[in-house]
Amino acid sequence: MKNIQTTEVEFAHIFERTVVVMKDVYGLKVEVKHLDPSIMGDFNGVDIFVREDLSAEIKLFILAHLFGHSIQFNISERLRTVGMTEYTPHNVNAQVLKRVKRYEYDASRFALTLFHNIGIYSLDQWLSDWVAADWSYLQEIYVSGRKEELTAEFLHGFKEKYFLPGQPLLTPLPIPKFKPQVWESRFSF
Protein backbone atom coordinates (compact mmCIF):
# COMPACT_ATOMS: atom_id res chain seq x y z
CA MET A 1 0.00 0.00 0.00
CA LYS A 2 1.22 3.51 -0.71
CA ASN A 3 2.97 5.19 2.19
CA ILE A 4 1.56 8.48 3.38
CA GLN A 5 3.63 11.18 5.06
CA THR A 6 3.48 10.33 8.75
CA THR A 7 4.08 12.95 11.43
CA GLU A 8 5.88 12.51 14.75
CA VAL A 9 2.52 12.77 16.51
CA GLU A 10 1.13 9.94 14.36
CA PHE A 11 4.24 7.80 14.96
CA ALA A 12 3.80 8.36 18.71
CA HIS A 13 0.12 7.39 18.52
CA ILE A 14 0.90 4.21 16.55
CA PHE A 15 3.67 3.41 19.05
CA GLU A 16 1.16 3.55 21.93
CA ARG A 17 -1.42 1.43 20.06
CA THR A 18 1.27 -1.13 19.24
CA VAL A 19 2.47 -1.32 22.86
CA VAL A 20 -1.06 -2.14 24.03
CA VAL A 21 -1.42 -4.96 21.50
CA MET A 22 2.02 -6.36 22.31
CA LYS A 23 1.03 -6.53 25.98
CA ASP A 24 -2.58 -7.65 25.67
CA VAL A 25 -2.26 -10.10 22.76
CA TYR A 26 1.33 -11.34 22.92
CA GLY A 27 2.27 -10.93 26.59
CA LEU A 28 5.28 -8.70 25.88
CA LYS A 29 6.18 -5.77 28.11
CA VAL A 30 7.50 -2.51 26.68
CA GLU A 31 9.41 0.11 28.59
CA VAL A 32 10.68 3.41 27.26
CA LYS A 33 13.61 4.41 29.45
CA HIS A 34 17.09 5.80 29.69
CA LEU A 35 19.51 3.43 27.97
CA ASP A 36 23.23 3.64 27.43
CA PRO A 37 23.93 5.98 24.50
CA SER A 38 25.61 3.10 22.67
CA ILE A 39 22.23 1.35 22.13
CA MET A 40 18.76 2.40 21.01
CA GLY A 41 16.84 -0.63 22.20
CA ASP A 42 17.10 -4.05 23.73
CA PHE A 43 14.96 -7.11 24.34
CA ASN A 44 15.08 -10.39 26.23
CA GLY A 45 12.13 -12.37 24.86
CA VAL A 46 9.61 -10.88 27.31
CA ASP A 47 10.66 -7.25 27.71
CA ILE A 48 11.39 -4.70 25.01
CA PHE A 49 13.29 -1.58 26.02
CA VAL A 50 13.34 1.53 23.84
CA ARG A 51 15.65 4.49 24.48
CA GLU A 52 13.62 7.48 25.64
CA ASP A 53 15.52 10.26 23.87
CA LEU A 54 14.79 9.06 20.34
CA SER A 55 12.32 10.58 17.89
CA ALA A 56 8.89 8.97 17.75
CA GLU A 57 9.71 7.61 14.29
CA ILE A 58 12.88 5.83 15.42
CA LYS A 59 11.16 4.57 18.58
CA LEU A 60 8.44 2.98 16.46
CA PHE A 61 10.94 1.24 14.20
CA ILE A 62 12.92 -0.05 17.19
CA LEU A 63 9.72 -1.27 18.87
CA ALA A 64 8.39 -2.98 15.76
CA HIS A 65 11.69 -4.59 14.81
CA LEU A 66 12.37 -5.84 18.35
CA PHE A 67 8.86 -7.30 18.43
CA GLY A 68 9.92 -9.45 15.49
CA HIS A 69 13.18 -10.44 17.17
CA SER A 70 11.24 -11.31 20.33
CA ILE A 71 9.16 -13.75 18.30
CA GLN A 72 12.28 -15.23 16.72
CA PHE A 73 13.94 -15.75 20.09
CA ASN A 74 10.84 -17.46 21.48
CA ILE A 75 10.23 -19.86 18.60
CA SER A 76 13.65 -21.15 17.58
CA GLU A 77 17.01 -21.95 19.11
CA ARG A 78 18.55 -21.57 15.65
CA LEU A 79 17.18 -18.02 15.36
CA ARG A 80 18.40 -17.19 18.88
CA THR A 81 21.86 -18.33 17.79
CA VAL A 82 21.72 -16.09 14.71
CA GLY A 83 20.64 -13.18 16.92
CA MET A 84 23.20 -13.75 19.68
CA THR A 85 26.28 -14.25 17.50
CA GLU A 86 28.82 -11.44 17.52
CA TYR A 87 29.58 -10.76 13.87
CA THR A 88 33.02 -9.45 13.01
CA PRO A 89 35.13 -9.32 9.86
CA HIS A 90 36.68 -12.60 11.08
CA ASN A 91 33.46 -14.65 10.96
CA VAL A 92 31.48 -12.91 8.21
CA ASN A 93 31.23 -14.20 4.67
CA ALA A 94 28.55 -14.07 1.97
CA GLN A 95 26.67 -17.07 3.40
CA VAL A 96 26.60 -15.59 6.92
CA LEU A 97 25.44 -12.21 5.63
CA LYS A 98 22.63 -13.88 3.68
CA ARG A 99 21.45 -15.75 6.81
CA VAL A 100 21.62 -12.64 9.01
CA LYS A 101 19.87 -10.49 6.41
CA ARG A 102 16.97 -12.95 6.31
CA TYR A 103 16.83 -12.92 10.13
CA GLU A 104 16.70 -9.09 10.15
CA TYR A 105 14.14 -8.80 7.38
CA ASP A 106 11.93 -11.53 8.86
CA ALA A 107 11.83 -9.63 12.16
CA SER A 108 10.34 -6.66 10.32
CA ARG A 109 7.99 -8.93 8.35
CA PHE A 110 6.51 -10.06 11.71
CA ALA A 111 6.19 -6.38 12.63
CA LEU A 112 4.39 -5.68 9.36
CA THR A 113 1.88 -8.40 10.19
CA LEU A 114 1.37 -6.84 13.61
CA PHE A 115 0.69 -3.45 12.01
CA HIS A 116 -1.81 -5.03 9.59
CA ASN A 117 -3.50 -6.91 12.45
CA ILE A 118 -4.22 -3.60 14.18
CA GLY A 119 -5.41 -1.96 10.98
CA ILE A 120 -2.28 0.00 10.04
CA TYR A 121 -1.53 -0.38 6.34
CA SER A 122 0.00 3.03 5.68
CA LEU A 123 3.46 2.07 7.00
CA ASP A 124 4.34 -0.75 4.59
CA GLN A 125 6.80 1.32 2.55
CA TRP A 126 8.10 3.10 5.63
CA LEU A 127 8.93 -0.20 7.38
CA SER A 128 10.45 -1.64 4.19
CA ASP A 129 12.68 1.41 3.84
CA TRP A 130 13.71 1.32 7.50
CA VAL A 131 14.69 -2.35 7.56
CA ALA A 132 16.75 -1.83 4.39
CA ALA A 133 18.52 1.12 6.05
CA ASP A 134 19.07 -0.90 9.22
CA TRP A 135 20.50 -3.78 7.18
CA SER A 136 22.86 -1.45 5.29
CA TYR A 137 24.13 -0.14 8.61
CA LEU A 138 24.49 -3.60 10.18
CA GLN A 139 26.23 -5.03 7.13
CA GLU A 140 28.72 -2.16 7.23
CA ILE A 141 29.45 -2.88 10.92
CA TYR A 142 29.84 -6.62 10.36
CA VAL A 143 32.19 -6.21 7.40
CA SER A 144 34.27 -3.33 8.79
CA GLY A 145 34.19 -4.17 12.49
CA ARG A 146 33.56 -0.51 13.32
CA LYS A 147 30.44 0.66 15.16
CA GLU A 148 29.77 4.32 15.67
CA GLU A 149 28.45 5.76 18.92
CA LEU A 150 24.70 6.31 18.51
CA THR A 151 24.86 10.00 19.33
CA ALA A 152 22.29 12.59 18.33
CA GLU A 153 24.62 13.69 15.53
CA PHE A 154 24.94 10.15 14.20
CA LEU A 155 21.19 9.56 14.35
CA HIS A 156 20.57 12.86 12.56
CA GLY A 157 22.82 11.74 9.70
CA PHE A 158 21.60 8.13 9.68
CA LYS A 159 18.72 8.75 7.31
CA GLU A 160 20.91 10.74 4.93
CA LYS A 161 23.54 8.00 4.83
CA TYR A 162 21.49 4.79 4.92
CA PHE A 163 17.85 5.57 4.13
CA LEU A 164 16.85 5.08 0.49
CA PRO A 165 13.08 5.51 -0.02
CA GLY A 166 11.29 3.12 -2.34
CA GLN A 167 12.85 -0.18 -1.25
CA PRO A 168 11.07 -3.39 -2.27
CA LEU A 169 8.02 -3.90 -0.09
CA LEU A 170 8.16 -6.45 2.68
CA THR A 171 5.57 -9.17 2.67
CA PRO A 172 3.83 -9.96 5.96
CA LEU A 173 5.05 -13.06 7.81
CA PRO A 174 2.35 -14.81 9.87
CA ILE A 175 2.95 -14.49 13.59
CA PRO A 176 3.21 -17.96 15.11
CA LYS A 177 1.89 -18.78 18.56
CA PHE A 178 4.64 -18.31 21.09
CA LYS A 179 5.06 -18.08 24.83
CA PRO A 180 7.32 -15.22 25.90
CA GLN A 181 10.34 -16.44 27.86
CA VAL A 182 13.30 -14.51 29.18
CA TRP A 183 16.49 -15.08 27.21
CA GLU A 184 19.86 -13.43 27.49
CA SER A 185 19.82 -9.79 26.47
CA ARG A 186 22.12 -8.78 23.64
CA PHE A 187 21.90 -4.97 23.54
CA SER A 188 20.35 -5.09 20.12
CA PHE A 189 20.67 -1.66 18.63
Indicate whether 84 pLDDT > 80.
yes
Looking at per-residue pLDDT, the higher value among 84 and 99 belongs to 99
**Gyration radius from the chain CA atoms:** 15
Q: What is the C-alpha end-to-end distance of the chain, expressed in Å?
A: 28
Q: What is the pLDDT of residue 145?
A: 83
Is there a domain that residue 185 lies in? no
Q: What is the pLDDT of residue 89?
A: 85
Q: What is the pLDDT of residue 150?
A: 77
Indicate whether 1 pLDDT > 60.
no
Indicate whether 110 pLDDT > 50.
yes
Is there a domain that residue 171 lies in? no
Looking at per-residue pLDDT, the higher value among 150 and 60 belongs to 60
Is there a domain that residue 173 lies in? no
Residue 80: half-sphere exposure toward Cβ, Cα within 13 Å: 13
Question: How large is the greatest C-alpha to C-alpha distance in the chain, in angstroms?
Answer: 43
- Distance separating alpha carbons of residues 160 and 133, to the nearest angstrom: 10
Is there a domain that residue 137 lies in? yes
Is there a domain that residue 106 lies in? yes
Domain total of the chain: 1
The whole domain housing 77 covers: 8-162
Strand order in the sheet with 47-51: 29-33, 47-51, 41-43
Indicate whether 118 pLDDT > 50.
yes
- Ranges assigned E (strand) in the chain: 29-33, 41-43, 47-51
Is there a domain that residue 111 lies in? yes
Q: What is the pTM of this model?
A: 0.93
